């Protein structure tokens, strides 16, 4: 009991006695157990509503949100974010885990391949096709012109021709290297800035997307979780919380 009393005394010193409500009905000399003061859950943010169930991937365009719930695609009206309205439910034959808008289509990554959903009628989408040869991950992918640049897990950077969105075709894979993985990428002009785990930054010239040569690199011994290029410096966000800012000779061409 002495150890517990001592511990409470230390906590009282560290966080202040005002934070430790004391019960008057406990005799002097006995341990006083207290309820910690609850911490604030938010600051400058207020929850306005929530939706039940087990939603998975979500994609928002304009006033519509497309939410995966199991093997259903739920369509919500989010014109009033505080009161989203349910508009439609489209049964799917697969369970998507990632979504990406490509022109007037919604790409859905599933374990059975790439599911293409036609959004020409945004309130009544239609499944346009399934491509089992494209088992891809859409997280971090970027669309530039008629091409989708996708992180192909352990394979590297995957380039997919989406000029015909219903029939996407893989045109190239840029290997990340042995035991390497591409964590993220950004596209600026004719260059792809690729964050490779264990190597750092690679810059690819995508003038010919079917054969993108490496034209620059920056070695970085920490894992890069994200990369942003917006007409100025290159921002690398490392897994240890470090932000690295780079300047490249290719930026003038990329703007």
DSSP per-residue codes, 70-118: TTEEEEEE-SSTTS-EEEEEEE-SS--SEEEEETTEEEEEETTEEEEEE
Instruction: List beta partners, residue 219.
Output: 200
The overall pTM is greater than 0.95: no
**Which H/E stretch holds residue 253?**
helix 251-254
End-to-end CA distance of the chain: give it in Å, rounded. 68
Query: Are β-strands 224-229 and 147-151 bridged in parallel, bridged antiparallel, or unpaired?
Result: unpaired
Predicted confidence band at 17 (pLDDT cuts at 50, 70, 90)?
A: very low
- Mean pLDDT over each residue of the chain, to the nearest integer: 77
Q: How far is residue 26's CA from residue 32's CA, in Å, rounded to a whole number? A: 7
Continuous H helices in 87-234: none
Q: Which domains, ranges and CATH numbers included, belong to the chain?
A: 1-36 (no CATH), 53-135 (2.40.10), 140-255 (2.120.10.30)
Q: Return the DSSP state at 237.
A: E
Predicted confidence band at 217 (pLDDT cuts at 50, 70, 90)?
A: confident
Task: Calculate mean pLDDT across residues 24-40.
Answer: 44
Q: Which of 93, 89, 96 is nearest to 58 (CA)?
A: 96
Predicted confidence band at 39 (pLDDT cuts at 50, 70, 90)?
A: low
Length of the chain, in residues:
255
Predicted confidence band at 8 (pLDDT cuts at 50, 70, 90)?
A: very low
Is the pLDDT at 130 greater than 50? The verdict is yes
């Amino acid at each position: 009991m002495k150890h517990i009393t001592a511990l409470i005394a230390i906590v009282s010193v560290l966080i202040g006695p005002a934070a430790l409500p004391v019960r008057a009905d406990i005799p002097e000399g006995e341990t006083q157990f207290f309820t910690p003061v609850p911490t604030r859950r938010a600051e400058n943010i207020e929850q306005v509503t929530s939706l039940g169930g087990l939603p998975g991937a979500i994609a928002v365009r304009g006033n519509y949100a497309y939410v995966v719930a199991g093997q259903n695609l739920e369509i919500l009206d989010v014109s009033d974010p505080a009161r989203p309205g349910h508009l439609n439910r489209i049964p799917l034959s697969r369970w998507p885990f990632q979504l990406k808008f490509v022109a007037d289509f919604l790409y859905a990554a599933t374990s059975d391949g790439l599911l293409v959903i036609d959004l020409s009628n945004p309130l009544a989408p239609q499944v346009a096709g399934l491509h089992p040869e494209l088992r891809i991950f859409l997280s971090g992918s970027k669309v530039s012109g008629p091409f989708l640049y996708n992180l192909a897990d352990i394979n590297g950077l995957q380039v997919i021709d989406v000029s015909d969105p219903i029939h996407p075709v893989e045109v190239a894979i840029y290997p990340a290297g042995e035991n390497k993985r591409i964590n993220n990428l950004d596209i600026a002009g004719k260059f792809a800035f690729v964050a490779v785990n264990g190597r750092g930054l690679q810059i690819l010239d995508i003038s010919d997307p079917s054969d993108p040569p490496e034209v620059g690199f920056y070695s970085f011994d920490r894992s890069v979780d994200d990369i942003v290029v917006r007409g100025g410096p290159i921002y690398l966000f490392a897994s240890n919380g470090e932000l690295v800012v780079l300047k490249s000779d290719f930026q003038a061409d990329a703007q």
